[in-house]
Structure 1
């Protein structure tokens, strides 16, 4: 059943489904067509699970802060973040081998579609909260645009006992990777975007930081490093849940007293505030809520 789609969107969604169901290997153009036109809202109940696929523009911005050769995409959907994380053009010109990408997704239909879009990735159909016990080995970077808010989940993750699903995913990622890049709700980030990155109070984030030792920070461009140790501080991306989203990347560091808060993050050279490209907020389909890109976890 297709709902809330225009006639043209429905037509393209149906064509995407035909490509997925075909027996032939898809071309790069056909794979991208499926990625662009397969709608999560076309299947009853999908949006009830908090599933909203990442817009291409936001995924394209996030991929700029993904380092390393071995990447895991948690709550991968049909693979939008993983698609951009391949970074094919840059790696071709820098004579680097293709990245090894693992996609973890709970919804079997999304996994089926994702395997047609990214057959070169390893797809695992499983609950993200079960990942720490799977012995998948270390990754250079974990990425995710997870369902956010009070999503029903099967248990808690290391250290965090709160209700917000995006923080459970970040806690899982810390057990897997040295670095990370995520999209989380603006309300879950300790900063917002106003020309540059500006500190803001977030009770939800403060609880998460208190329970896990993970610190979120904006990363306006360069990939952060992250050494995962217990009580470490990672940097990750943030997306905005019902309002504005932000993109973040992260890295954990040993526990230390928080630095004095400055109203605006400045460059080490003292040349003034960091001014990343102004992110363009986007509206979450069907929710009336807006998101924006964000940056780091320390």
Structure 2
């Protein structure tokens, strides 16, 4: 558990009071709770890699999420990305459906209060039973600010990716569940730089990214030009440069099918030649 300042503790206590009011919360109240609820009040951020998305960054992220449809929020925390998406697209009421997956029971409880119409699943996205439950639905978009790196409580086996970066494992899982992906991940984990640089750059990515791409056929694409570097100092308990990465999982699944067909055909031809 982190040592909060007096102002942080007062803000967190105020958020808890707001969560307990006996009525529906307004959008403004939900954002106030997101601002004041402190993930370090009852948890060790570093141990769980539970660093909630800064609210201003979440609102910028929401600009990349298509309007409407069924949205799957993985490693959702208390639901900042989903609340921001709902608020950004509120001119289309009734067109959104949200399903959130979060490991921590306390965060799930808060998320249910902030998004009373959403389905909140408390469990690990790497749990086969959770994945089986998720496959019963169709999701238009998967969104996530997943735990980063290798030292966190959320790591688990991904369907194809064999490395240790949790953000890649989460995206691999998402690729089987949704048509489109929108993810907030470290700049070092994508093959482009758009944030905090004077000129956008695009390359083949790090060795870790290339391994991820080879094993999953997933190529992470840049967003419309959002520079997230403004939020580097807004994270609580850490400072990190991120990028908003996009992916069309329909193309990914088609590429996987083509690769499997080519592999099967090659094996058949080899067998025929040997015979």
TM-score range (shorter-chain normalised) is 0.7 to 0.9
Partner secondary structure for residue 84 of structure 2: helix
Within 1, Cα distance between the matches of 2:155 and 2:245? 28
- State the partner residue of 1:144: 144
Equivalents in 2 of 1:133, 1:277: separation in Å? 34
Residue number in structure 1 paired with 2:98: 101
2: CA distance, partners of 1:21 / 1:108: 17
- The aligned residue for residue 128 of structure 1 is 125
Q: Shift of the alpha carbon at 1:116?
A: 1.2
**CA distance in structure 2 between the partners assigned to 1:152 and 1:8 by the alignment:** 28
Q: Deviations over 1:41-73 (max 9, x none)?
A: 111334411000001121111111112411010
Counterpart of 2:222 in structure 1 is: 218
Contact 1:141–1:180, Cα closer than 8 Å, also in 2: yes
Please give the TM-score of this superposition, normalised by the length of structure 1. Answer: 0.73
Gaps of at least 5 residues in structure 2 are 249-275
User: What residue in structure 1 maps to residue 168 of structure 2?
Assistant: 167
Deviation of residue 177 (structure 1)? 0.5
Checking the alignment, whether the CA contact within 8 Å between 1:75 and 1:105 is kept in structure 2 is yes
Task: Give the ranges of 4+ consecutive aligned residues of structure 1 lying more than 6 Å apart after TM superposition.
Answer: none
SS in 2 for 1:297: strand
* Aligned-pair CA distance for 1:154: 6.0
Cα deviation digits, residues 235-267 of structure 1 (max 9, x gap): xxxxxxxxxxxxxxxxxxxxxxxxxxxxxxxxx
For residue 40 of structure 1, report the CA deviation from its aligned partner.
0.3
Greater percentage in helix: 2
- Report the Cα distance in structure 1 between the residues aligned to 2:200 and 2:244, rounded to whole angstroms: 9
Deviation at 1:77, TM superposition (A): 0.3
**Bigger-Rg structure (1/2):** 2
The Cα shift of 1:24 comes to: 4.2
Residues 174-206 of structure 1 show CA distances to partners (whole Å, capped at 9, x for unaligned) of 011000100111111111123443124311111
Q: CA deviation at 1:277?
A: 4.9
C-alpha spacing 1:147/1:278, structure 2 compared with 1 (3 Å): closer
Query: What is the CA-CA distance between 1:36 and the residue it aligns to?
Result: 1.3
Q: Which residue of 2 aligns with 1:35?
A: 34
Partner of 2:255: none
Pairs aligned (count): 238
CA contact 1:129–1:155 (8 Å) conserved in 2 = yes
Counterpart residue number, 1:74: 74
